[in-house]
Structure 1
Amino acid sequence: MGVLERSHLTIIQEVAREGSLTAAAVRLNLTQPALSHAIRKIENLLEVKIWRREGRSLVLTQAGEWLLSLANRLLPQFELAENRLQQFANGERGTLRVGMECHPCYQWLLKVVSPYLERWPKVDVDVRQKFQFGGIGALFSNEIDILVTPDPLYKPGLIFTPVFDYELVLVVGPEHPLRGAKFVVPEQLAGETLITYPVPPERLDIYTQFLQPAGFGPRQQKQIETTDIMLVMVAHGRGIAALPRWLVEEYRSRFELHPVKLGKKGIAKQIFLGRRETDEEIQYLRDFIECAGSPSSACRQLSPESGT
C-alpha cells in the first residue's frame, strides 16, 4: 500500500463537492482524462476502491466516505498552517477569519471591523458565512477563528463571550393593523406572512421562543437573503419580520418601519463571539473581542502590544 498524500484528499473532496468529474476537473485545473487517471492511480496506490459507478455518477464507497471525512478535517488545517507560515514570512500578524451565524449582524460587524483595522494595520479580516460543518464545526476544523452567533453551543475547547445585548422585535409596515401596538401575542401572527432569512425554523427565535411554544405558526413564510429587500417588502405591506430593534432603528430613516414588542416581556438576546481555547494567546484575536464589546472610540484608543 502506498502513502496517502494531501493531493489525494483534495481530489476526493473536490469530486464529492462538485458531484461530477467534469466540474471537479475544472476546479482542480485538470482535464477530465487526467482526473480519471488520477482517480485510478489513487485507488491502485491505496489498494482500496474509493468510488463506485452508479450510471454516469461516481459514488463514494465506505472507504471513500471515511477518506472524505478525513479530508474535510485535515485540509482546512493545512490551509491554516500555510497561511500562518506565509504571514510570518511576510512579517504580517495574520488574517482573522470571522464566521457569521447571525444574518442581521453585518451592520453591527462593520462598526467593529473599521476601528479594529485602524488599530491593527497588519491584520486582515475575512468574513465567512457558509461552513462545511456549521459554525461550531468550523471553529473545531479551523475554517474560522471567531464565530459570531446569537445562540452559543458550549463545547469543551470553545469559549463564548457576550459582546452585545439587543431585543428581538416584530417589524411591520405603516399600514399594518399592529402598528402602534404595545406588544403582540403569538395568535395575532397566525394569519400573517412572515419574512425571514433563509434559515431553518428551528434556528429562528421568532419560532422557537415565541410561536412554537404557544402552538402557533404564520400563514406563510417567505425567505429573503438580504436585509434591505426584506425591509422594503415589510414597508410595502408584503409581510412582517422579526429583527433586532437596533437594526430596525437604523433603517427607519430609509423605510417607514414600526417595531413592536414580542410578548409583554419582549425577547432579550445577546451576540456572542466564540473562539478556540488554544487561540487564547493570539493577541489580535483577543483584541477583536475586546473591540466588539467596546465603543468604537475606545477600540481606537487601545494600543496593541508587540507579538502575536
Structure 2
Amino acid sequence: MLERIHLVIVREVARQGSLTAAAGALFLTQSALSHTVRKIEQQLGTPIWDREGRSLRLTQAGQYLLSLAERLLPQFEHAEERMKQYAEGERGTLRIGMECHPCYQWLLKVVSPYLARWPDVDVDVKQRFQFGGIGALFGYDVDVLVTPDPLNRPGLSFEPVFDYEQVLVVAEGHPLAKARYVKPEQLVDETLITYPVETDRLDIYNQFLRPAGVAPRRHKTIETTDIMLQMVASRRGVAALPRWLADEYADRMPLVSVKLGRDGIAKQIFLGTRDADGGLDYLASFVEFARQSNWQAARVGA
C-alpha cells in the first residue's frame, strides 16, 4: 500500500541526489533509509530507482511517484499548517504568487495597509513555480495569484483588481519618442528589453509583434525594473511596461511612453484564489484591499 512516507522519501532522495544526503535531511541513518527504500520497492512490486554507483536514478515508476509527491505533499503540509493555526487561534501566512513582474510596486502599496490591519498574518511572495502559477494555486503552494492571464478552472476564482495600458517605453531622444503611437514594423531594428518571461506570455509579442509577423532585432531580458529602465534611458533598448509604472519612472528618468498601435493594448490584473478558501477572512480582506487600492487612480490623476 502506498503511504505518505513513501512519497516523502521519493521526494527527498530526488532533491538530495543520494541516499546519504537524503538520510541526513530525514534524520535517519543511511542503513535505515536503505532498508526502507528496499521495503518500498518490495511493497509496490516494482523498482523505483536504478542504482548508478552511489547515485540513484528514478525509474519510470519512480518518476510517476515523484510527480505525485510534488502535487500531494504540499497539500498535506498546507492542511497540517492550517489545522495548527486553527488549534492555536492563529491565521499564519498569506502566500502570494506573482505572475506579473511589474506589479511589485503595486503590491507594496497593498501589503503595507494590509499588514497594519492584520498584525497576526505574515506575507510571503513567491515568483517561481514548478508547475506554473495556476499549478501553484491548485497545489497549495500559494494562496493568492497575481496574474494578467486568468484561466477558468473549476475550483478557482479570479477577481479583476485594476485596469492598465501596456505601452512602449523609450528614451526622450529616441526617434519614436514623439510618435502618437508605434507600429510593429518600427521595432524591427530595436533591442527589446523584457523581464525573464517566456515570449509566449509577453503581451508585446502576443498582441503586437507576432500578429504582424514582426520580431525585434534583439531580445534581451533583465530581472529588475530599475536596471531595465536605466538601459532604456541610455538608449540601449526599448521596453514594454504598464503605463502607470512607466509614468512613475518618467518622473525621475528621461523616459517617454508611446502607445502600442493605434488603439493601444488594454490589460487587467486579476487575483486568483481557491473557492475552498472562501471562508478565510484574512484572504478575503486582502482581495478587498487590492480591489479598493486607489494607487493607480492617483497615478493617472497626478
For the criterion TM > 0.5, the same-fold answer is: yes
Is the 8 Å Cα contact of residues 101 and 149 (structure 1) preserved in structure 2? yes
Range 76-85 or range 196-205, more displaced: 76-85
Matched letter for residue 189 of structure 1? L
Flag structure 1 segments of 5+ consecutive residues without an equivalent. 298-308
Kindly state the Cα deviation for residue 20 of structure 1 after the two structures are TM-superposed.
5.1
CA RMSD of aligned residues (A): 2.2
Question: Cα offset for 1:192?
Answer: 0.7
**In the TM superposition, what are the counterparts of 1:164-175 in structure 2 within 5 Å?**
164-175=162-173
* Greater Cα offset, 76-85 or 192-201: 76-85
Q: Which moved more, 1:243-252 or 1:186-195?
A: 243-252
For 1:217, the equivalent position in structure 2 comes to 215
SS of residue paired to 2:292: coil
Cα pair distance change 1:188/1:87, threshold 3 Å: same
The amino acid across from 2:151 in the alignment is L
- Structure 1 residue 198: deviation in Å? 0.9
Tell me the number of residue pairs that the alignment of Structure 1 and Structure 2 aligns: 295
2:269 is paired with a residue whose SS is strand
Shift of 1:263: 0.4
How far off its partner does 1:269 sit? Answer: 0.5
Q: Secondary structure at the match of 1:66?
A: helix
TM-score, normalising length: structure 2: 0.90
Amino acid at match of 2:200: E
In the aligned structure 1, how far is the partner of 2:23 from the partner of 2:221?
Answer: 34
Deviation larger for 4-13 or 206-215:
4-13
- Paired with 1:95 and 1:167, the residues of 2 have a C-alpha distance of 32
Which amino acid in structure 1 is aligned with residue 187 of structure 2? Answer: L
Partner of 1:292 in structure 2? Answer: 290
- For 2:170 and 2:164, the matched residues in 1 are separated by 18
Structure 1 moving runs of 4+ over 6 Å = 30-34
When normalised by structure 1's length, the TM-score is 0.88
Query: What SS does the corresponding residue of 2:172 show, helix, strand or coil?
Result: coil
Once the two structures are overlaid, the 10-residue window that deviates more, 181-190 or 247-256, is 247-256
Q: Which residue in the other structure is 1:121 paired with?
A: 119
1:293 aligned counterpart, secondary structure: helix
What residue number does 1:196 align with?
194
Residue pair 1:111, 1:296 contacting (<8 A) in 2 also: no
Identify which of 235, 238, 257 aligns with 2:236: 238
1:256: Cα distance to partner? 1.7
Where in structure 2 are there 5+ consecutive unaligned residues?
Answer: 296-302
| Aligned residue identity for 1:66 | Y
Amino acid at match of 1:188: Q
Higher mean alpha-carbon deviation, 17-26 vs 136-145, is at 17-26
Secondary structure, aligned partner of 2:167: strand
